[in-house]
Structure 1
Amino acid sequence: MKRINLTMQISIGMVIGIILGLVFGPKIAGIQLFGNIFLRLIQMAVVLLIFGMVIESLGQIKANQLKKLGTKTAIWFLVTTVIAAVLGLIIGYMMRPGAGLKLATLHANGSLGKAPKDISTIVLSFFPTNIFEALASGNVIQVIIFAILFGIVLNRANTAGKFDQVLELVKAINGLTIRLVMLVMKLAPLGIMALMAWVTATNGLKVILPLVKFLVAFGIGSASFLIVLFVGISWYAKVPLGGLINGFSRIMLVAFTTTSSAISLPVELADAESRLGVGKAISQLVLPLGMALNSNGLAMYLSLACVTLTQMMGLDLTPGAMVQVVVLALISCLGTVVVPGGGLVALTIVVPTLGLPLQTIAILAGIDWFSGMFRTVLNVVGDTTTAIAIAADENALDRTVYQRQTATKLNLK
């Protein structure tokens, strides 16, 4: 008998929780305690995990690769991720998936309702004065800024292997932390069931409609982002748009159906070379690096989720909070969490930082499998289009593959 995967278990837990909330009503509201315990168990390890993953990702890149192609790759990752995050905000405000629902018994506790800060104060707050204080308080932005700098220094200082032991120690700690998070994630179906039972018991079935609207908004945002990427890369790399889309067809199909960037990677590597003309040296550097450091789909998901949840709370993001959302979406993609339910784990980073109640995560957790379809497609397409752009810059793009694809289609006709 085939084992049900974790995301499906979470979806089943969500359905059971909704049924329990509707059947028993306020009598079952006390079950929230079990859901809150689950969320705290996730929170206790996630800052350490992100801290270590960023250092490991940057520290193990070969120095010559980091210098030669690293800058170009980082710029493309940065640009596409920011576009995805900003597009998520725009779609959220245009479609307003969370509007019309005011969650009972939940209150924001952070800076959402405060007066907007000036841009210099916002930027200054990203940089820590004490890394231990940032770790203790769970200030994710400050922790990641320190981790990025530490990872770069480790990379530069370790060219002769002098600090291999430090890198191996970081990898070992990351491995153990991932095991811890995976252990906690086994409780996710029960935790989400408890939280959804409580949410439904206190708010009723009206909580379902925003979930459908969220998925529609995410689908429209994903389609818009893909159009921007394909048109932009077609122009930049001087390749035919039709051949580009045809070359991506198998990659997108595998990504959409498996909801796994790791499973999609072998197909990406094969099709990037044979169907999209990317040189092997470029694809073998950019695509694995993209899986670790770049996640356009997650960036859009997080920004759209933040807009949706604030709308459910009857609030609006201040300009300062919007900047925070984009920055958090960007840096949450560094060292993408390689555990089941990674989208859920990422939400536990962003939501508390914005001052939103942690329990609101449960509302979107139940549809994480469907969200994962869109996230994965955007992730793999973003990585592969970056590889095409860099190959074009480095004269390592074989454009004849597009001509062969066009000729094959004409022969078939």
Structure 2
Amino acid sequence: MKKLALHWQIIIGLVLGIVWAMLSSQMGWSEFTIDWIAPFGTIFINLLKLIAVPLVLFSVISGVANIGDPASLGRMGGKTLLAYLLTTVLAVTLGLMLVNTIKPGKLVEQDSRIDNRISYELWAGSQGYEIKDGINYLQDPEFLDKAQRISDLSRQELKEASVEDKLETAKQTKEAGPLQPLVDIVPENFFHSLTDNGLMLQIIFFALFFGISLLFIPNEKSAPVTAVVDSIMEVFLKMVDLVMRAAPFFVFALLAGVVSKMAGDDVGKVYEIFKGLGWYSLTVILGLLIMIFVVYPLILKTFTRSIPYTGFFKAMSPAQTLAFSTSSSAATLPVTMECVEDNLGVDKKITSFVLPIGATVNMDGTCLYQAVAVVFLAQLHMIDLTLGQQLTIVLTATLASIGSAAVPSAGLVMLIIVLDSVGLNPAWIAIIFPVDRILDMLRTVVNVTGDATVSSVIAQGEGMLHYPGEVDPSETFDVDSK
């Protein structure tokens, strides 16, 4: 195992987890799996949640603070950040449109989804979350027997929990004003935001405010703070790395436990879970391909005109190939810069500024995947998210992308943040884990392609784009030099 790359070890853990879950359902071992294997999966989720909040906090502060002196950014800096923000929002919106049109989570057999829904309501009640769509299956006598099989609660306790939840939801809805979502973003006590579930937007707001404030104080005052923030961020990134080294075992336990809890001793439900997973994967892949082959070329055609469709992909093919194989925007950055400069004709002054920022804040593929994943998981658990809740996904995914490290599997940490923001169970990431690696590879290609597109558009606006025409990328890309 030590000689294998980590992602292959994780894939082996995934496969073994799936095999064990199916065997466990077939042989009636689900109780053993839930009692003795699933807890290690819970530990994995707890470790990621432990790291996620401080990682986002310090990553967002670092990303904003390292933009530089706002007075020196000028027009180009503003245009760059605006362009990245717009493409990210566009990607998330596309993801939401596709997942609401295809509805991959609703293609799973109804009985399995009802069991999932009851499990969600029991989890929400135990964690103090309100039921997202205001509907409570535990109030329906028809489902109380199912709920009793899933939990240890009596019928009376289930009824009381469902009524209390519904009354609390109604009270909050009645008291909330039209601008309450905006008010909720601004914390009155930042330390309370750090310790309370579901307040991730408040943490991101504080991080953005803190980072922007650092830009407006003298460099001799801000530099020590920025250095400390950068160092702390590196520590948390190393913590992610250490946790991910144990991921093959944790992933096995997580997947085996979650599937066993959802399927019990019914092996047919295991097949239903993976049928939904297939439709989810197709939805994400369709969205990512539309971004690569439709959205970005349209942006180029609209704002540059000089770069042809095939010429753009020929120019960027080395960077896209490396992005697909490494799943890391950061590792691909030197190759991306060379492709954009030599093959697309973008001035070095543009690439040295726009592309490093893009590797930090532009995560179009990651945001699209997060939007699809959250709504898919909600559909799988019979939760109808409102437009407002889906807009929260857009906002959280967009802002959290600033803190998403440009390394493999960082998107999973950010997905925990997005799930938390809409009051859904972070442990559900285990459901989409089996296909995450291949989707991670493809969404990194989207991120890198988006960086190249934005840098070309900015260069055109600054008069620094000189497309050399059709070139052979292999002639301008020296593999050995990297």
Contact 2:362-2:401 at 8 Å conserved across structures: yes
Is residue 338 of structure 2 the alignment partner of residue 331 of structure 1? no
Which of 216, 222, 229 aligns to 2:288? It is: 222
CA distance in 2, matches of 1:95, 1:5: 35
Which of 34, 38, 56 aligns to 1:32? It is: 38
222-231 or 299-308, which deviates more: 222-231
Task: Spell out the pairing of 1:252-401 with structure 2 (5 A cutoff).
Answer: 252-338=320-406, 340-399=408-467, 401=468
* Equivalent pairs, count: 405
> Which residue pairs with 1:124 in the alignment?
183
Q: 1:158 to 1:177 in 2, by over 3 A?
A: farther
Question: Under a length normalisation based on structure 1, what TM-score does the superposition of the two structures give?
Answer: 0.92
CA distance in 2, matches of 1:350, 1:188: 21
Is residue 74 of structure 2 the alignment partner of residue 67 of structure 1? yes
CA offset at residue 180 of structure 1?
2.0
CA distance in 1, matches of 2:466, 2:313: 16
CA distance in 2, matches of 1:358, 1:392: 42
Paired AA for residue 165 in structure 1: P
Task: Spell out the pairing of 1:132-147 with structure 2 (5 A cutoff).
Answer: 132-138=191-197, 139-147=199-207
CA distance in 1, matches of 2:465, 2:204: 34
Contact 1:13-1:189 at 8 Å conserved across structures: yes
> Which residue pairs with 2:49 in the alignment?
43
Cα shift readout 1:266-298 (whole Å, capped 9, x = no counterpart): 111011011111110100111111111110011
CA distance in 1, matches of 2:363, 2:177: 29
1-10 or 184-193, which deviates more: 1-10
> Which residue pairs with 2:150 in the alignment?
none
Q: 1:404 to 1:377 in 2, by over 3 A?
A: closer
CA distance in 1, matches of 2:462, 2:407: 34
Is residue 21 of structure 2 the alignment partner of residue 21 of structure 1? yes
Find runs of 4+ consecutive structure 1 residues off by over 6 angstroms.
115-118
CA distance in 1, matches of 2:360, 2:335: 17
Cα shift readout 1:367-398 (whole Å, capped 9, x = no counterpart): 21111122101100111111001001100000
CA distance in 1, matches of 2:299, 2:411: 27
> Which residue pairs with 2:9 in the alignment?
9
CA offset at residue 186 of structure 1?
2.5
> Which residue pairs with 1:238 in the alignment?
305
Contact 2:319-2:336 at 8 Å conserved across structures: yes
Cα shift readout 1:56-84 (whole Å, capped 9, x = no counterpart): 11112221443342211110011000000
Paired AA for residue 42 in structure 2: N
Paired AA for residue 217 in structure 1: T
Contact 1:13-1:366 at 8 Å conserved across structures: no
Task: Spell out the pairing of 1:79-158 with structure 2 (5 A cutoff).
Answer: 79-101=86-108, 102=113, 104=116, 106-108=119-121, 109=124, 110-111=129-130, 112-114=132-134, 120-138=179-197, 139-158=199-218
CA distance in 1, matches of 2:3, 2:177: 52
Paired AA for residue 259 in structure 2: T
Gaps of 5+ in 1: 409-413
109-118 or 352-361, which deviates more: 109-118
Contact 1:251-1:268 at 8 Å conserved across structures: yes
Which of 272, 279, 290 aligns to 1:206? It is: 272
41-50 or 118-127, which deviates more: 118-127
Contact 1:231-1:241 at 8 Å conserved across structures: no
Q: 1:2 to 1:272 in 2, by over 3 A?
A: farther
Contact 1:107-1:313 at 8 Å conserved across structures: yes
Contact 2:362-2:402 at 8 Å conserved across structures: yes
Identity %: 32
CA offset at residue 12 of structure 1?
1.8
Q: Which secondary structure state, in structure 2, belongs to the residue aligned with residue 366 of structure 1?
A: helix
CA offset at residue 403 of structure 1?
5.8
> Which residue pairs with 1:76 in the alignment?
83
Q: 1:307 to 1:231 in 2, by over 3 A?
A: same
Paired AA for residue 283 in structure 1: T
Q: Which secondary structure state, in structure 2, belongs to the residue aligned with residue 62 of structure 1?
A: coil
Contact 2:105-2:377 at 8 Å conserved across structures: yes
Q: 1:184 to 1:36 in 2, by over 3 A?
A: same
CA distance in 2, matches of 1:144, 1:172: 19
Contact 2:299-2:453 at 8 Å conserved across structures: no
CA offset at residue 97 of structure 1?
1.7
CA distance in 1, matches of 2:187, 2:179: 15
Cα shift readout 1:209-254 (whole Å, capped 9, x = no counterpart): 1222122111111121221111221221122333223322332222
> Which residue pairs with 1:186 in the alignment?
245
Over the aligned positions, Cα root-mean-square deviation in angstroms equals 2.2
Q: Which has the larger radius of gyration?
A: 2
Q: 1:207 to 1:321 in 2, by over 3 A?
A: same
Gaps of 5+ in 2: 135-169, 264-269, 476-482
Paired AA for residue 247 in structure 1: A
Contact 2:44-2:254 at 8 Å conserved across structures: no
Q: Which secondary structure state, in structure 2, belongs to the residue aligned with residue 402 of structure 1?
A: coil
Contact 2:409-2:440 at 8 Å conserved across structures: no
> Which residue pairs with 1:411 in the alignment?
none
Question: Under a length normalisation based on structure 2, what TM-score does the superposition of the two structures give?
Answer: 0.79
